[in-house]
A = this chain, B = another copy of it.
Amino acid sequence: MSTLALAFDLGGTELRGALVERSGEVIARVSEPTMAGAGSKAVIRQIIALAERLLNEHPQAKVIGLGACAPGPLDPKAGIVIAPPTLAGWHNVPLMDILSRQFGLPVRLENDGNAAALGEWRFGAGRRTDSLVFVTVSTGIGGGVVADGRLYHGRRGLAAEIGHMTITGEGDRCFCGNIGCFEAVASGTALGRRATQLTAPGDGSLLRCLSKGGDVSARHVVEAARAGDVTAHELVEAEARWLGIGFTNLLHLYSPDLIVMGGGLAKGFDLLAPGIRATVEERAMPAYREVPIVPAELGDRAGLVGAASLILWEGEPRTAPAPLT
């Protein structure tokens, strides 16, 4: 068996663990609901228990380290989870040191957007590019940037807070307090909210039929648009326009070779793509228009394999080479 890393993706809802090869191949996976309200010690015990399960089930595994990702803000150099809004009681937790002492292994930590960007860059849609922007569009909007062949960190690893880029003066207030955040107008949550506002329980609309009368979600909008529903189609068009405005900013600011869109809404990528593309062609300066915008390839294992690669890939090569096997 080749050299492996333990990988963890610590989310506010789900805690995922895996054994990952240098090629990005996932050998084994485990997951359970994160005890997000129980504080850091309880969650760290969950990580340790899952790790022991993986190691016990694969006693022959040659594990050389542990790569983990967690929600930001997070300092990847110091290995500290600063204060993620989705994890109660986590304040400046030195997760890297704690896990390193526990396992006696090298540990690397990265925020989840950056880890997923790294995963898609090294093993997914961004292979063979030098610069890419990964955008995850789901409950919120997050992401990560590979700049000139390296993960872009910036001060305290806080670069690429893409969701809180102001792109307009309209729309509902973002949870961060501002009006006009990319996330506030273009996330799956925003799309669901617009669909909910446009319809009413019992109005006979396909959207409310799919939502069983409850609040409409982005998933229902995509589903109804696929079924040819006109209202859903218009909602998808408006969503694509907001995404196109935000993506055009990302092109102008980061000039990537590629934009990779992940997250729940990427399941509707085929429906959104024409509207995104039309908006980019209308708004981007000529030199940026031809940059491809593609769906993510790795789904929910992007963060896991990206985190694993922090351990398994020595340094960060200028361009991603073909992974060794």
When all copies of this chain in the complex are counted, the total is 2
In angstroms, Cα B257 to Cα A82, docked, is: 18
Q: Are A169 and B166 in contact (CB under 8 A)?
A: no
Q: Is A160 positioned at the interface, with any CB of B under 8 Å from its CB?
A: yes
Assess whether A322 is interfacial by the CB under 8 Å rule: no
**Contact (A161, B255) CB under 8 Å given A73-B287, A178-B283:** yes
CB-contact partner of A165 in B150, B160, B249, B256, under 8 A: B249
Distance, CA A249 to CA B169, complexed state (A): 14
Give residues of chain A (73-121) contacting chain B, Cβ–Cβ below 8 Å: 73, 82
Nearest-neighbor residue (CB-CB) of A163 within chain B: B252
Q: How far is the CA of A164 from the CA of B288 in the complex (A)?
A: 12
B285 touches A159 (CB 8 A): no
Given A147-B152, A150-B148, A154-B148: A164 and B287 within 8 A (CB)? no
Determine whether A162 belongs to the interface, using a CB cutoff of 8 Å to chain B.
Answer: yes
Q: Is the interface of A mostly helix, strand, loop or mixed?
A: loop
Chain B residues, Cβ within 8 Å of A152? 147-148, 152
Q: Give Cα A288–Cα B73 distance, bound, in whole angstroms.
A: 10
Which residue on B lies nearest to A131, using beta carbons? B154
A161 touches B283 (CB 8 A): no
Q: Does residue A180 face the partner (Cβ distance < 8 Å to B)?
A: yes
Contact with B along A157-175 (1 / 0, CB 8 A): 1111110111111100000
Q: How far is the CB of A141 from chain B (nearest CB, A)?
A: 11
Across the interface, A154 reaches (CB within 8 A) one of B153, B167, B256, B282, namely: B256
What would 11 more interface pairs be, CB under 8 Å, given A166-B245, A176-B285? Answer: A73-B287, A130-B155, A131-B155, A153-B255, A155-B291, A159-B255, A161-B288, A165-B252, A168-B168, A169-B169, A253-B253
Closest chain B CB from A262 CB (angstroms): 18
Shortest Cβ distance from residue A55 to the other chain B in the assembled complex, whole angstroms: 34
In the complex, A62 has a CB within 8 A of chain B:
no
| Given known A147-B154, A167-B167, A257-B155, contact A82–B287 (CB-CB < 8 A) | yes
Knowing A147-B159, A150-B148, A170-B169, the reply to whether A164 touches B254 (Cβ < 8 A) is no
A248 at the interface (CB under 8 A from B): yes
Query: Which residues from B are CB-within-8-Å of A156?
Result: 255, 287
Q: Which residues of B contact A257 (CB under 8 A)?
A: 155
Question: B-facing mask of A277-312, CB < 8 A → 1, else 0?
Answer: 000001101011001000000000000000000000
Q: Judging by beta carbons under 8 Å apart, are B161 and A253 in contact?
A: yes
Report the Cα distance A250→B208, complex, angstroms. 40
1/0 per residue A9-51: CB within 8 Å of B? Answer: 0000000000000000000000000000000000000000000
| Contact string against B for A residues 244-272, beta-carbon threshold 8 Å, 1 for contact and 0 otherwise | 01001100111111000000000000000
**Most B C-beta atoms less than 10 A away, residue of A157, A177, A178, A287:** A287
Min CB gap A8→B, angstroms:
23
**Which of these, B150, B164, B283, contacts A252 with CB under 8 Å?**
B164
Question: Beyond A152-B148, A166-B249, A169-B170, is A161–B256 a contact (Cβ under 8 Å)?
Answer: no
Cα-based distance from A148 to B156 in the complex (angstroms):
10
